Chain A
């Protein structure tokens, strides 16, 4: 039983799991730092993969990537395990808990009973940390909530064995080895470079180019499939962008916080100035979400609403492109 576990709320689940796992090993790291060092900022548009009938748009790298990158940059070793047999998965978890090892789990959101209905979709890459077991119930620290919750064995098995895209298959992870001292400066440099490379990648569906592709697609959705379908796709895009901190607007602010922290650490004023610029870009994303919400609610009186939205997104892509180019030089 781990009674000493401290739960810390986070904007995004994966960062939160990292922060909580490290903190309980006695290493304090802020969420923005974890996000930045994990090169968490990303964008990818996958028109050929449908999620809830809408084309997939992701504002983050593949689940687990943020932690993996952070671990690589800081020299941490993570132990990850998957199980084809749910019983073995439970045994392994129980054993960890007996040894007082807080364990990260990848789970499906749909069957999590403590989430409101509006959040419960078949999305299988949510991170939680299990830190104890009391009276047959698992004590769970869900990073996006500001309190801890508990799940029964059956409930936990259900979410660990959610099916569909990115099925977690009982995926669990724990910290295996942490270096005695972290070497922050090279880690920060490498992580920022990685983010710039990702966002400026010469691939049409990734990074800034991916945003441009979505911008064009918004107009196409309307022309080809009508307003209902276009609104549905847009709604999904905004949900991906704003929901449980998995998205665009919120991520920009976290990254800005990271740049500020990094700038102070490296005593690099350019980074601090760029942090301010990132806040402005984050505000633009919020404006975009607001306008899209109006369109979805059919409250917008502007003509050619889809063209307006498209232009807004293109503008953001331009801003971000010049931003990452500057960031690359600043480091």
Chain B
């Protein structure tokens, strides 16, 4: 990549007013550090990825409203977590945490466990118990 080929496309990072540093070849054939606003293909993939995760969250929201799974699933998706990550935050095993996706199991959870979830998701226990979508 030549210095003048360094992409300067709008990107998530440029919207925050920063740049990223890349290395490119200058006109004398030397490597040099250049600030770049971003690269379109990369940003597109990032948007696409976020879009995909938003779809998962939306799907989870529907499922919770239809009573197919517990709010834990929705908030997990909302925070871009997977079961392993959530289990690590809960300091528990994936096997136990996964069971909490069943509405029947979720209903029986103690307030202490619910409080733990609420803290992780930065919501109140009430939001968890009475899911409004």
Seen from chain A, the residues whose Cβ lies within 8 Å of a Cβ on chain B are 9-11, 31-32, 50, 52-53, 110, 114-122, 144-147, 163-165, 167, 232, 235-236, 238-239, 242-245, 250, 253-254, 256-257, 260-261, 275-276, 279, 282-283, 286, 289-290, 292-294, 296-297
Neighbour of B31 across the interface among A119, A165, A245, A275, CB < 8 A: A275
Q: Is B46 an interface residue (CB 8 A)?
A: yes
B97 is an interface residue with CB less than 8 A from chain A: no
- Are A11 and B22 in contact, CB atoms less than 8 angstroms apart? yes
Partner of B20, one of A114, A144, A293: A144
State A120–B12 Cα separation when bound (angstroms): 11
**A-B interface pairs (CB < 8 A), number:** 127
B-to-A contact residues, CB < 8 Å = 1, 12-13, 15-25, 29-33, 35, 39, 41-50, 52, 79-82, 84-85, 88-89, 91
The secondary structure that dominates the B interface is mixed
Q: Known contacts A235-B49, A239-B46: does B88 contact A167 (CB below 8 Å)?
A: yes
A119–B12 touching, CB < 8 Å? yes
Q: Please, which residues of chain A bring their CB within 8 A of the CB of B29?
A: 276
Q: Known: A11-B22, A146-B18, A244-B20. Contact between A293 and B44, CB under 8 A? A: yes
Decide: A297 near B31, CB < 8 A? Known: A116-B16, A117-B12, A238-B42.
no
Contact of A296 among B23, B30, B35, B45 (CB under 8 A): B45
How close is A309's CB to chain B, nearest CB, in angstroms?
Answer: 14
Q: Give bound CA distance, A240 to B113, whole Å.
A: 34
Q: A121-B80, A164-B84, A167-B88 are in contact. Are A260 and B31 (CB under 8 A)?
A: yes
A52 and B80 in contact, given A122-B85, A235-B49 (Cβ under 8 angstroms): yes
A-B contact pairs, 16 of them (CB 8 A): A11-B23, A32-B31, A52-B82, A114-B16, A118-B50, A121-B80, A163-B85, A236-B49, A238-B42, A239-B45, A244-B20, A245-B21, A276-B29, A279-B31, A296-B48, A297-B48
**Is there contact, CB below 8 Å, between A235 and B48?**
yes
Contact A116 B15, CB 8 Å, known A110-B80, A164-B84: yes
The prevalent SS among residues of A at the interface is helix
Residue pair B80, A293 in contact (C-beta under 8 Å): no
Contact call B52/A232, Cβ cutoff below 8 A:
yes
Give the docked Cα–Cα distance between A293 and B7 (Å): 15
Contacting B24 at CB < 8 Å: which of A110, A116, A244, A253? A253
In the complex, residue of chain B having the shortest beta-carbon distance to the beta carbon of A142: B18
CB nearest to B47 among chain A residues: A118
Known: A163-B88, A253-B31, A260-B31. A290 touches B41 (CB 8 A): yes
- Measured CA separation A286–B42 after assembly (Å): 10
B91 closest partner in A (C-beta): A163
Q: Which chain A positions have C-beta within 8 A of B16?
A: 114-116
Chain B residues with CB under 8 A of A293: 41-42, 44-45
Q: Which residues of B contact A254 (CB under 8 A)?
A: 23
Contact A164 B88 (CB under 8 A): yes
- If A116-B15, A122-B85, A283-B1 touch, whether A289 touches B41 (CB-CB below 8 Å) is yes
With beta carbons under 8 angstroms apart, the residue of A53, A147, A250, A290 that contacts B23 is A250
Given contacts A257-B31, A282-B1, contact A238 B45 (CB under 8 A): yes
- CB pair B49–A253 under 8 Å, yes or no, is no
Q: Which residues of B contact A165 (CB under 8 A)?
A: 84-85, 88
Q: How far is the CB of B89 from chain A (nearest CB, A)?
A: 4
